[in-house]
Amino acid sequence: MKEHKEPAKTVFVTGGSGFLGWNLVKALKDHYRVFAGYYRHPFQMEKVKTLKLNISDRGEVREALKKIQPDLIFHTAALARVEVCEKDKEAAYRINVEGTRNLILESPKNSRFIYVSTDLVFNGKRSFYKETDLPDPLNFYGETKLLGEVVTAENALDYLIIRISLMYGFGNNFSESFLDWLRKTWTQGGKTKLFTDQYRTPLLVSEAVKALREMATISAGREIFHLGGRERITRYEFGKKFAELYGYPTYLIEPASMVDVLTVNMPVDCSFSVNKIQNFLSFTLSDVEGGLRKLYKEDQGESPVSKNSG
């Protein structure tokens, strides 16, 4: 049994309007006093105090954190679109690196900072990356997220860096997840090109949220953790499993190679080893089939088996 800290009372989630942040805020709001930041997409949620905050503006960050006085910060805000980061490097640096620095430097000294990073800090030349493996990002998004890690390690007193694999689940109206995009396209009869040559360890967003909540209370600090699902898989195979479970025809999925679709360098294999984080969690991270079934239940309130047989 791992040691745990006193639970935080006031929590600040940056990127509350984003895919991960919104799911996280939803899960925290009944247990903590929750403040959630947004930038371009105002949103409201019962029991949550939402605020507009540009994390790149140090003065705004100072004012906000002086008022909130959080015990715990989940920093999920980022310019998270790989191709946009490559096109607008200045914005990517300002948000992902300077934004992270602003938050840490203006946080109360005794607060805990959880920095959400990515599997794209690796070059993808091997499989099942461990926390001890050396990062070597291939694109500017990965580079800025790695610099955010460095800024965190150099400036925060009590922090965890949690690198997350490709997440799946459903978001809100204004942040489109990978599955939101597949579902929307297929519902309109459109086809989607999915990579057969990139391996990840996809993670159900509700498990990401649960793990982040649990990790926030561990007494160990100043450490890196890899958080992903149990199974290494390509987007193409993942898409087929999703389509089969949700009843979409698999001919809507076209196999594609990354080089034919992307204008940005992407790692071929950035699958994670999740052994380290698994030791700290109260639940077992799912494989793809298990995660998709869980998602179906969360989404529809029943299991796919009972729906099909009913």
Ligand X SMILES: NC(=O)c1ccc[n+]([C@@H]2O[C@H](COP(=O)([O-])OP(=O)(O)OC[C@H]3O[C@@H](n4cnc5c(N)ncnc54)[C@H](OP(=O)(O)O)[C@@H]3O)[C@@H](O)[C@H]2O)c1
β 253-256/192-195 pair status: parallel
**Count of beta carbons in the 10 Å neighbourhood of residue 220:** 13
* C-alpha–C-alpha distance, residues 216 and 261, integer Å: 38
For position 76 contacting ligand X by CB under 6 A, the verdict is yes
- The residue within the footprint of ligand X, chosen from 175, 198, 206, 273 (CB under 6 A), is 175
Q: Which stretch binds ligand X (CB under 6 A): 32-40, 102-110, 128-136, 248-256?
A: 32-40
Q: Are 82 and 141 a contacting pair, CB within 8 Å?
A: yes
Give me the 136-155 binding string for ligand X, x by CB under 6 A, dash otherwise.
---------x----------
Q: Which of residues 152-171 bind ligand X (CB under 6 A)?
A: 164, 166-167
- Helix, strand, coil % over all residues of the chain, rounded to 5: 40, 20, 40
Q: Which of 121, 141, 76 is nearest to 103 (CA)?
A: 76
Q: Which stretch binds ligand X (CB under 6 A): 48-56, 181-189, 244-252, 271-279?
A: 48-56
Q: Which of 239, 234, 233, 260 is nearest to 186 (CA)?
A: 239
- The residue within the footprint of ligand X, chosen from 8, 11, 12, 15 (CB under 6 A), is 15
Give me the 255-274 binding string for ligand X, x by CB under 6 A, dash otherwise.
--------------------
Provide DSSP, 129-156: B-TTSPP--SSHHHHHHHHHHHHHHHH-
- The residue within the footprint of ligand X, chosen from 104, 116, 146, 209 (CB under 6 A), is 116
- The residue within the footprint of ligand X, chosen from 8, 11, 12, 21 (CB under 6 A), is 21
**Interacting residues toward ligand X by CB under 6 A:** 14-15, 17-21, 37-41, 53-56, 76-80, 95, 99, 116, 118, 145, 164, 166-167, 175
